[in-house]
Structure 1
Amino acid sequence: MGIVGNLTADQLQSFNSQGYIVLESFAVDEDIDAMVRRMDQLVNDFDPSSTASIFSTKNQQKLTDDYFFESAEKISFFFEEKAFGDDGKLKQPKQLSLNKVGHALHEIEPAFKKFSSSNKVSSLMFSLGYKRPVIMQSMYIFKQPGIGGEVVPHQDNSFLYTEPQTCTGLWLALEDATVLNGCLWAIPGSHKKGLVRRFLRDEDGVKFDRPSPSYDQKDFVPIEVKAGSLVVIHGDLIHQSFENQSQKSRHAYSLHVVDTDGCQWAPENWIKRKVEPEPLYVS
């Protein structure tokens, strides 16, 4: 795969066929180091007593609170489900207890904004056919050693729905991602079968509109990548990751982009922004 944002005809064909592509060496070491260092500072300055919000892909309705909803335009910290003991206290240091930090890193933090708004990212989105691409959320995902939680099979369009559907996930490996430390897994071609369910927000909180289908794990393939590689994920692709049972973390930076040209943001989405985000452009 190439290292520039503009996709070749072969890359576009592969993406349309498989529902994802891997762009090796997409991010340079300088940008990776800057994002990792800044996250270290943010975590060091974070007071865990200020929140005990837990992120879960299994039961977010029970665990969701105002802190989660307000994170769309802030930098918020979310713990792993297994981070707390029966006494309600962290079982290990906060640096090894967080699931992720999100969801507006790309807007607020310069190190993350530099990469997210780069010509490389912008031209990638335009090469996918976007007319007015907008980043709706960003996440720094830790996948902690030993407790990094499972992310169950899902589609990004479920959470970030537009009409017509336009969500694309950009998943940047900040560290090597392997089968041992919880790399992504996907069902190639599953995006062709369409969206199976939606994640909706109403006055009672959030919920899926229907149960998850069952999937045959033999259909999934691992996406092992080196640090600096970008995985581009179609919004309807079924993908997941397993628990990190190794002693090595699997840090990643994830962006989700939608098109705002002729597309409507669903009012039932969990993200309800007060200020419309700026679109990406190529300078």
Structure 2
Amino acid sequence: MRKLTAEEKNHYDELGYVVISSFFSPDELSEMNKELDECEEPVQKSGEHEGFTYQLAMLTDKTKQFAQDERILNFIEDIVKPGISIFSSKLLTKLPHSTSVCHWHQDDAYYSEVVKSDTRMSIWVPLQDTDERNGCLWVVPESHKRGLLPYAVKDHGTCRRALDEEQVDLSKAVPVPMKAGSMLLFNALTWHSSKGNETDHVRRAFIVSYQEATVPIGRGKQHVILRSAL
């Protein structure tokens, strides 16, 4: 079980995100997709929470194991410290031909109202290949260095605590296409968004947000300390 290389850690620190290729095997992805096919609640097809399944790590033993995988913890232990705990987890499903967008936002616009963290970040794992056609994530490199910015609440799409696009510079935004089973690590302050799914196939992404174990709470009962602070 390897850790972040110095180059990967520097990429994360400087740009606010880093992609780790081929993290999960095809067999693991197949098992997880089968598990989700059997247990996933009906996907909401409209509204602010379109496509989201919340408290994913609490859904089944397999989803719990996924979120608590020691391989993930080894990767993030040089980012999330001292100790590691889960803040929250969710599945984001983009149905075929969905036009719903996830607006440009920062996760901490939602998370910091619960509790503040110095190291909070998320993993974003696509269960299918993702690109610009089926709603891959977009990010603005180095945006995490701006801190938590004001937001305005949109009346459509998802991730509605949106950055004011007239007040922020999105000219450096880049898509982050990923192969299924790769893992994106990104800071809770990094600006990110996603567009619709133009394809005939479902696109799923498993998302877990982690924070240092010294922060006493998370998103309700989802908060679990995985590695204690020494």
What TM-score, normalized by structure 1, do the two folds share? Answer: 0.69
The partner residue of 1:279 within 178, 200, 225 is: 225
TM-aligned CA deviation for residue 187 of structure 1 = 0.5
Alpha-carbon shift at residue 125 of structure 1 (Å): 2.2
Residue correspondence of structure 1 range 78-157 to structure 2 within 5 A: 78-81=43-46, 99-103=51-55, 105-147=56-98, 149-157=100-108
Residue type of the partner of 1:80? Answer: K
Distance 1:221 1:160, change over 3 A: same
- 2:9 corresponds to 1:9: no
Distance 1:169 1:183, change over 3 A: same
Give, in angstroms, the shift of residue 145 of structure 1: 1.0
Residues 4 and 76 in structure 2, CA contact (< 8 A), matched pair in contact too: no
- Count of aligned pairs between the two proteins: 216
Correspondence for 1:220? 173
Kept in 2, the 8 Å contact 1:141–1:253? The answer is yes
Query: Counterparts of 1:177 and 1:260 in 2: how far apart (Å)?
Result: 32
What's the CA shift for 1:255? 0.6
Moved more, 168-177 or 23-32: 23-32
- 2:212 corresponds in structure 1 to 259
Q: Which amino acid aligns with 2:46?
A: E
SS at match of 2:95: coil
Q: Where do 1:193-204 residues align within 5 Å? A: 193-197=146-150
Separation in 2, partners of 1:251, 1:148: 15
Structure 1: distance between partners of 2:223 and 2:116: 18
Q: What does residue 56 of structure 1 align with? A: none
TM superposition outliers: structure 1 runs of 4+ over 4 Å: none
1:116 to 1:164, Cα distance in 2 relative to 1, 3 A = closer
Residue type matched to 1:135 in 2? I
1:23-74, CA deviations, whole angstroms, 9 ceiling, x for partnerless residues? 001112232122211111114xx5xxxxxxxxxxxxxxxxxxxxxxxxxxxx
| Pick aligned residue for 1:21 from 18, 21, 32 | 18
Q: Which runs of 5+ in 1 are unaligned?
A: 47-76, 83-97, 200-206
Q: Deviations over 1:150-187 (max 9, x none)?
A: 10001111111233433201000100000111100000
Verify: 1:188 aligned to 2:141, yes or no: yes
Shift of 1:126: 1.1
> 100, 118, 132: which is aligned to 1:165?
118
Does 1 or 2 have the higher relative contact order (CA < 8 Å, sep 6+)?
2
Between the aligned partners of 2:65 and 2:27, the Cα distance in structure 1 is 11
1:224–1:141: structure 2 CA closer, same or farther, 3 Å change rule? Answer: same
Alignment match, 1:74: none
Amino acid in the other structure paired with 1:169: S
Q: Aligned partners of 1:189 and 1:234: how far apart in 2?
A: 10
Task: Provide the TM-score with structure 2 as the length reference.
Answer: 0.83
RMSD over aligned Cα atoms: 2.6
Secondary structure of the corresponding residue to residue 203 of structure 2: coil
Counterpart of 1:138 in structure 2: which amino acid? S
**1:79 maps to amino acid:** Q
Q: Percent identity?
A: 22
Query: For residues 151 and 169 of structure 2, what CA distance do their matches in structure 1 show?
Result: 21
Deviations 1:192-233 (A, max 9, x none): 11111379xxxxxxx96xx73214543210000000000001
Rounded to whole Å, the distance in 2 between the matches of 1:139 and 1:35 is 14
Q: 1:260 to 1:144 in 2, by over 3 A?
A: same
